[in-house]
Amino acid sequence: MRYTDFVDFEYKPEETDVVCTFYVEPEGIDIKEAAGGVAAESSIGTWTELTTVKPYVEKLAARVFSIKRNEVKISYPIELFEPGNMPNILSSVSGNVFGLKTLKNLRLNDVDFPAELIRSFKGPKYGVEGIRSLLKVQDRPFVGTIIKPKLGLKTSDHAEVAYEAWVGGCDIVKDDENLSDQGFNSFEDRVTKTLEGRDKAEEETGERKVYMVNITAETKEMLKRAEFVLDPGGEYVMIDILTCGFAALQTLREQDFNLVIHAHRAGHAAFTKNLKHGISMRVIAKIARIIGVDQLHVGTVVGKMSETREDVSENCKALEEKMNGLKLVLPVASGGLHPGLVPALIEFFGKDFVIQAGGGIHGHRDGTVAGAKAMRQAVDATLKGMPLREYAKTHRELEIALQTWGQRA
């Protein structure tokens, strides 16, 4: 079978097929041959015709069934994949094909997974409804923060910053992606002391509070850390899903711990930022949801991240669209956020998301407590339909935040 033999515009995908949407930019060949090359090299073909292909093997060929300019849709028979094995699936549809010299650029923009494959994974344990039930927050976005500076604080100072954020009004405090078990802030001491601060803050405020501790590590160590979080009453863990890998994420989810899984996407832009080459964040979001995360960073629309409004919208859709009964995953907006951006965030996301600000809370002139208060005040004002500057006249913390960072029009 030649590359062009994998192109069949009459083919109609089966319900059980995996359907991938690629951006394909050829180098030295036409788009039809390039698209057929992707289908061939990611299923049963190769660069030359083979004498070892049997008639029963030909039935397993991937098929290019649509080419519209550079958008190529390819359908893969489900028999090509091992159920419950995401590395196998991704090694096929997004493996060696990215290195073909006949392709100037290749980007995997979307994957539609059949119900049979989705059922072979656990999916989210909690999802949006479970998180709302846990935190007893039903009618507003969640307010969260990241401990800043992200590295360098001693354990006692880390725990104190977390406590101040909770007392000021944050629902959620999390580690940043590169805080692990360094000598200046050891994992076990950090968990113990920070959760003590959580308990104290809950008693003082009457609100539920959660701490997302970063358990990212080698897989066996990561499982040990998850179990350690449970002992003092921890309810959340965070994992850097791309640097740990989807297999490690699945191993964690398979334990069925009573822990909400917060997925950090550290490193994603290496795959997603080039709109002509790599893998879209939408695909990563779908995979993370199928494996079983409960919340995931999706971009901000505003703030310091580069993704467009359309990009972030597509990421959110991947977390909420119908997918064989999977629970909805909670989107997390994080990156350069401050109180002045809250109206724009709520206008875009609605209420089911986390406003997660680091510098936009800890950079408040009057400290972390005031910064957290300002963020909650911005949420309250927006939900009441009041302009932030009007609300700030009677809320000093918000007034100072707006003086410091301004407000998006």
* CATH code of 173's domain: 3.20.20.110
| Banded pLDDT at 409 (limits 50, 70, 90) | low
- Indicate the residue among 50, 83, 118 that finishes a domain: 118
pLDDT in tens, 57-87: 899 999 999 999 999 999 999 999 999 999 9
CATH of the domain at 71: 3.30.70.150
Tell me if residue 187 falls in helix, strand or coil. helix
- Let me know whether 151 and 113 are in one domain: no
- Let me know whether 108 and 139 are in one domain: no
- Contact (Cβ atoms closer than 8 angstroms) between residue 353 and residue 333: yes
- Let me know whether 168 and 278 are in one domain: yes
- Indicate the residue among 76, 96, 118 that finishes a domain: 118
In this structure, what token pair is assigned to residue 46? 């190769």
Task: Using the predicted structure, report yes or no on whether residue 8 has a pLDDT greater than 60.
Answer: yes
- Let me know whether 236 and 369 are in one domain: yes
Question: Average pLDDT, whole number, for the chain?
Answer: 96
- Structural domain including 51 reads 3-118
Section 190-201 average pLDDT: 98
| Banded pLDDT at 53 (limits 50, 70, 90) | confident
DSSP secondary structure string for all residues of 211-274: EEEE--SSHHHHHHHHHHHHTTT--EEEEEHHHH-HHHHHHHHHTT-S-EEEEE-TTTHHHHSS
Task: Using the predicted structure, report yes or no on whether residue 27 has a pLDDT greater than 70.
Answer: yes
Count of Cβ atoms closer than 10 Å to residue 372 Cβ: 27
- Let me know whether 98 and 143 are in one domain: no
* CA 193, chain centre distance (Å): 28
- Let me know whether 108 and 133 are in one domain: no
- Contact (Cβ atoms closer than 8 angstroms) between residue 345 and residue 333: yes
Tell me if residue 104 falls in helix, strand or coil. strand
Section 173-191 average pLDDT: 96
What are the backbone angles phi and psi of residue 397, rounded to the nearest 5°?
A: -60, -45
- Indicate the residue among 73, 98, 118 that finishes a domain: 118
- Let me know whether 144 and 101 are in one domain: no
Measured at the CA of 348, the angle between CA 343 and CA 351, to 5 degrees, comes to: 75
Strand segments (E) across 122-241: 142-146, 172-174, 210-214, 236-240
Section 129-151 average pLDDT: 96
- Let me know whether 205 and 291 are in one domain: yes
Q: Looking at residue 130, what is its pLDDT?
A: 98
pLDDT in tens, 311-330: 999 999 999 999 999 999 99
β-strand partners of 213: 237
| Banded pLDDT at 226 (limits 50, 70, 90) | very high
> From CA 148, how far away is CA 166, in angstroms rounded?
14
> From CA 41, how far away is CA 18, in angstroms rounded?
16
pLDDT in tens, 252-280: 999 999 999 999 998 899 999 999 999 99
- Contact (Cβ atoms closer than 8 angstroms) between residue 388 and residue 374: no
What are the backbone angles phi and psi of residue 185, rounded to the nearest 5°?
A: -155, 80
Q: Looking at residue 307, what is its pLDDT?
A: 80
What are the backbone angles phi and psi of residue 237, rounded to the nearest 5°?
A: -135, 155
> From CA 83, how far away is CA 117, in angstroms rounded?
6
- Let me know whether 347 and 372 are in one domain: yes
| Banded pLDDT at 395 (limits 50, 70, 90) | very high
- Let me know whether 279 and 360 are in one domain: yes
Task: Using the predicted structure, report yes or no on whether residue 331 has a pLDDT greater than 90.
Answer: yes
Least confident piece of the model among 140-149, 269-278, 303-312: 303-312
Q: Looking at residue 50, what is its pLDDT?
A: 84
| Share of residues in the chain with pLDDT > 90 (%) | 92
Find tokens 């290019």 and name the residue: 64
How many domains in the chain? 2
- Let me know whether 159 and 110 are in one domain: no
Counted residue by residue, the chain has a size of 409
Element (H, E) at 75: strand 71-76
- Let me know whether 249 and 160 are in one domain: yes
| Banded pLDDT at 196 (limits 50, 70, 90) | very high
Task: Using the predicted structure, report yes or no on whether residue 305 has a pLDDT greater than 80.
Answer: no
The residues annotated as belonging to the active site are: 148, 264
